[in-house]
Amino acid sequence: MDASQPAEFDLIRAVAGGDQQAFLAIYDRHAPRVYGLTLHILGDPMLAEEVTQDTFLKLWSRARSYVPERGSFDVWLLTIARRTALDRLRLEGRRPLLSDGQDPEEAWRSLPDKSRDPEEIRWESMHFALRALPEQQQQVLELAYYQGLSQSEIADELGWPLGTVKTRMRAAMQALRREWNTDGVD
Amino acid sequence: MTDEHALANQELAAYAVDALDPAEVSGLEAHLRTCKICQADLGAYRRVSSGLLSAVPPVYPRPAVRQLLQRRLTHQTQPARSAWRWSPWQLASAGALALIIVLGIVSSLQLRSLLESQAELRSRSDSQQIAVAMLAYPSTQSIGFAQNGISGSLLVDKQRGLIAVFAWHLPVPPAGKTYQMWLIDPQGHRTSGGLLAYETGYPFVTAVITSPSPLSNFNGLGVTVEPLGGSPAPTGPRIFGVDF
């Protein structure tokens, strides 16, 4: 982050106090991640735009409930975005295509200040770790995490035995756990 | 390691991504309350789950999303910061003031309701006259549609930038909701075309849209369910859509 920019927590506190400029500063910082996630889940730019707005409006009304000790702001905001998008997916009773048609590498390159933000590099590593998984493991995680399906629903969706789904889910998560937790987090 | 622990430990990965079937959740949660090993393992899987939130490439939304959000923000209130402690005289004054305000609001609402009914009738009559007149325009294109039990037609006059919408069998909108029309451009951007007012007792509804920019910029019309008064951008489910 640019040293001249206000610290994230100062902005969140200002948002909790009703400061619209602080709110827009947070939007400018986080909108690409929120929109990227909601677009991936919903597969429809119009719906993703609506859910992006809903997510930020929830931030506006609930900024006071963010507790830094319980986790990073990005994770908190993106968790709200994911839940809002999955609720919308259920409401619409539809399931989008698994691919959003974006070129991931291109999108990563378009992020500003990436070279100065180690967190960005770490997130990027998760993206590539996910893509390095065997395709069937990726499918299981995709349907569970980004489409909100349970293991039984995934088994029905893919026509696989439930035991196979469980095995692939576990293998995928174990591989990501090894990859993600190697740099001192775990 | 007990069988129960082994079974629970195998389910942690799915639990961390909310994919465990509901019937399996309570058993696992009971085990988690007492098993330190599983609590630690779940923590590691939760970190993976958090990482997955950001494993999706970022995409910049259209600048219009920021503008719409700013507009919606002005209608959104934040929760109160703290409870006030009022003295008895403050409470009495506030009560009297509230009564005066309520009486004023009731009177003005009655007047407003009458004026709104009158305006709505005039608007309905104007819409129907324009729609009938459009039938006589040589450049008017008529497009039929039938979706979700709703049928009707659009009369599209690109020269004059007018669209008349006739929709039969439109269901009663949910309480506190209304129908809103959207002009859709080839990039999928939506521009409000106004409300499609439903009125009990009428077998069909009619509305006329005057396009805010050349109608050739748009190639479709969609109707969604929105909060009363409409929304700056679609927020509710789509009822029907027509390409033109």
Amino acid at A82: R
Identify the CA nearest to B58 among candidates A48, A54, A175, A4: A48
Q: What is the pLDDT of residues B166-220, one digit of tens each?
A: 888 888 888 888 889 999 988 888 888 888 887 776 677 888 888 878 888 889 9
- Interchain contact B71–A (C-beta under 8 A): no
Q: Element (H or E) spanning B5, and its range?
A: helix B3-16
DSSP state of A102: -
Q: What is the pLDDT of residues A132-149, one digit of tens each?
A: 999 999 999 999 999 999
Angle between helices A151-158 and A162-180 (to 10 degrees): 120
DSSP state of B33: T
Identify the CA nearest to B139 among candidates B167, B163, B172: B163
- Residue located via tokens 């900024």: A63
B-chain CB neighbours of A144 within 8 Å are 14, 17-19
Q: What is the pLDDT of residues A3-62, one digit of tens each?
A: 445 688 889 999 998 899 999 999 999 999 999 999 999 999 999 999 999 999 999 988
Q: Is the pTM of this model over 0.80?
A: no
Q: What is the pLDDT of residues A80-119, one digit of tens each?
A: 999 999 989 888 776 544 344 444 344 344 343 434 456 6
For A150, the closest chain B residue by CA position comes to: B19
Beta carbons within 10 angstroms of residue B81's beta carbon: 10
> How far is it, in rounded angstroms, from Cα B168 to Cα B148?
11
Q: How large a percentage of chain A has pLDDT more than 70?
A: 78
DSSP state of A116: G
- Interchain contact B234–A (C-beta under 8 A): yes
